[in-house]
Amino acid sequence: MAGGKIQKKRHQHRWGGGVPFEKSKGQHILKNPMLVETIVHKSGIKPTDVVLEIGPGTGNLTKKLLEVAKSVVAVELDPRMVLELNRRFQGTPHSSRLKLIEGDVLKCELPYFDICVANIPYQISSPLTFKLLAHRPAFRGAVVMFQREFAMRLVANPGDALYCRLSVNTQLLARVSHLLKVGRNNFRPPPKVDSSVVRIEPRRPLPPVSFKEWDGLVRLCFNRKNKTLGSIFRQKSVLSLLEKNYKTLQALQATQKVQMEEDKVSSEDVTVLAEMIEELSMGDDEEKEVEEEEEEMEVEEDMDLVGEGGESCSFKDKVLRVLKQGDFAEKRAAKLTQVDFLYLLSLLNEAGIHFS
């Protein structure tokens, strides 16, 4: 019979005999009512707030959000879930305060909202985080369920093993805090990993920095985050790129400083930081192997540089003087704060050294 075929598909699970959920689409529904209550409470929702919910599923969290918020805008990709939500809330006192948007949250234009609450497919964690941070006008806060490792990278501090480009870029734009750990058995079907709930509060105003310049510096430093900056900036490939940018900017007389106010920051500027962030699959052993290989290359590159003309050596000296000026030559990216990176970037830019 028809039902028998569905039961044979291991990746599909039914909730209460109704809609089948698919793990491949990241569909894991919160089944613990106490956990739902806790998430709503920690969201700090006011009676006047418009709440954006991403991935409402069958509406367990949606129902609690409607009880405390002025209104809820729920974005759901799966048309079956949208139908289920319409059936659940149709004819209830909450129906007039619930707006459903069927579509991909990464592609659709988000409306105004004060608070975001989301239990998302983990594969969209990074692009969604930066899409939210690029949203204008800025919201007050977001409470989001992430895969635990991703969450711990978001909140990692300098010196932590998980501190990476994702940590630095996110914390440049927002204050991030860990709220609670969530075991996999709180979901149906249970995912393969534990989760964590994180609060994200956009900074106001944003630091006056060119995000393209920022990303260029941070990406360069975190490619070898446990090496000293002096070692990184001595590499022939790095010096060659920076010197090319230096000469181009001199020729164009484009040494102006970029000042950005919060309301002038575009989505394109912010989403630069979402590109090419450190891969979560990169393990410590793999990273160590990469660093060992690059250490051998570095020796060769330094030897090549010594024999080059005075102009290149002069530029190398210029870069190293800037590092020494800010006492950065012996420091490592893995232990630098956002303030450290901002100061280093300002010193380099003032010297005419740019990354884009």
Q: Is residue 156 within 8 Å of 149, Cβ to Cβ?
A: no
Find the mean pLDDT for residues 109-138. Answer: 93
Read off the pLDDT of residues 179-233 as tens digits, 9 standing for 90 and up: 999 998 888 788 888 999 999 999 988 888 888 899 999 999 999 888 999 999 9
Phi, psi of 96 (to 5 degrees): -75, -15
pLDDT tier, 253 (very low <50, low <70, confident <90, very high otherwise): very low
- Mean pLDDT lowest for which of 7-16, 71-80, 317-326, 345-354? 7-16
Computed over every residue of the chain, the mean pLDDT equals 81
Q: Is residue 141 within 8 Å of 204, Cβ to Cβ?
A: no
- 223 labeled binding residue: no
- Looking at domain 23-206, which CATH architecture does it have? 3-Layer(aba) Sandwich (3.40)
Q: What percent of the chain has pLDDT over 70?
A: 75
- 41 labeled binding residue: no
- Which residues of the chain are in CATH 1.10.8.480 domains? 209-256+313-355
What is the pTM assigned to this prediction? Answer: 0.79
| Single-letter amino acid, residue 198 | V
- 76 labeled binding residue: yes
Q: Could you tell me the sign of the dihedral formed by the alpha carbons of 19, 110, 151, 138, in that order?
A: negative
Query: Does pLDDT of 16 surpass 90?
Result: no
**Which of 48-52, 237-241, 351-355 holds the top average pLDDT?**
48-52
- 178 labeled binding residue: no
- Which residues of the chain are in CATH 3.40.50.150 domains? 23-206
* Full 3-state SS string of the chain: CHHHHHHHCCCEEECCCCCEEEHHHCCCEECCHHHHHHHHHHCCCCCCCEEEEECCCCCHHHHHHHHHCCEEEEEECCHHHHHHHHHHHCCCCCHHHEEEEECCCCCCCCCCCCEEEEECCHHHHHHHHHHHHHCCCCCCEEEEEEEHHHHHHHHCCCCCCCCCHHHHHHHHHEEEEEEEEECHHHEECCCCCCEEEEEEEECCCCCCCCHHHHHHHHHHHHCCCCCEHHHHHCCHHHHHHHHHHHHHHHHHCCCCCCCCCHHHCCHHHHHHHHCCCCCCCCCHHHHHHHHHHHHHHHHHHHHHHHCCCHHHHHHHHHHHHHHHHCCCCCCEHHHCCHHHHHHHHHHHHHCCCCCC
- 273 labeled binding residue: no
pLDDT tier, 146 (very low <50, low <70, confident <90, very high otherwise): very high
Read off the pLDDT of residues 320-353 as tens digits, 9 standing for 90 and up: 999 999 999 999 999 999 999 999 999 999 999 9
CATH annotation of 209-256+313-355: 1.10.8.480
- Rounded distance between C-alpha atoms, residue 55 and residue 35, angstroms: 16
Query: Does pLDDT of 271 surpass 50?
Result: yes
Find the mean pLDDT for residues 38-50. Answer: 97
Read off the pLDDT of residues 80-103 as tens digits, 9 standing for 90 and up: 999 999 999 999 999 999 999 999
Query: Does pLDDT of 267 surpass 80?
Result: no
Considering only residues 269 and 113, tell me which one the structure prediction assigns the higher pLDDT.
Answer: 113
- 13 labeled binding residue: no
- Rounded distance between C-alpha atoms, residue 94 and residue 56, angstroms: 15
